[in-house]
Structure 1
Amino acid sequence: MSSVTVPLSAPASQSLNSVLNQQLVLPDVYQHSTGLFMEVWQNSTRVVADAICQNLNPVIHADYLGLGGDFVFVDKQGSTDPAYDGLGGRYVLTFVTAI
């Protein structure tokens, strides 16, 4: 298993173009009153919509979707679920691939 850190900053809504596992992946991360959520696009096809982001809990949960890995948020200072104002500092988004 290997992992790559996906660089995020602290705006309440953001989209990134990333090359992960040799494919174009666009994670959209956005804050609602009920928590941080994420959509994941692969080569302009939405793979996951409105997934809740939780500490150490994989976002996608579906190997058959073909990403070859999953996104996981990590709280570097404890064990709370991520919030937008701590992204890129306290909360780190990683893409974890299987070997």
Structure 2
Amino acid sequence: MNVQTISLQQVAAQQVEVALNKQPCVIRVCQRDSDIYVDLYVNGEAVVLGALARDRVGLTRHSYLPFKGELLFVDTHGREDPRYTGFGERWQLLYLN
């Protein structure tokens, strides 16, 4: 299994453009209240909208989605759900393929 870390800034709302396994992706991450939500677009098409981010829970869990692989947040210091203030340090957004 290949693992790729997706770089995120420590800001409450952001958009990242990245190629994941040759799939052109746009990932939007935002914090609303105390939760992080993720939108994923592949080839300009919405694949996942408003997915609630939880520690070690896949964001693209359904095999019928037009996306190869899995995105998930991992708490490197425990088992808490992600907060933008710890992006890149405590919480990593990973792509697994």
Q: TM-score range by the shorter chain?
A: over 0.9
Q: TM-score under structure 2 normalisation?
A: 0.96
Q: Extract structure 1 runs of 4+ deviating beyond 2 A.
A: none
- Structure 2: how far apart are the matches of 1:34 and 1:93? 17
Q: How many residues align?
A: 97
CA contact (8 A) 1:24 1:43 kept: yes
Which stretches in structure 2 are left out of the alignment for 5+ residues?
Answer: none
Other-structure match for 2:20: 20
SS state at 1:48 partner: strand
Q: TM-score under structure 1 normalisation?
A: 0.94
SS state at 2:38 partner: strand
Identity of aligned residues (%): 29
Which stretches in structure 1 are left out of the alignment for 5+ residues?
Answer: none
Other-structure match for 2:80: 80
| Farther off after superposition, 59-68 or 19-28 | 59-68
How large is the Cα RMSD of the aligned pairs? 0.8
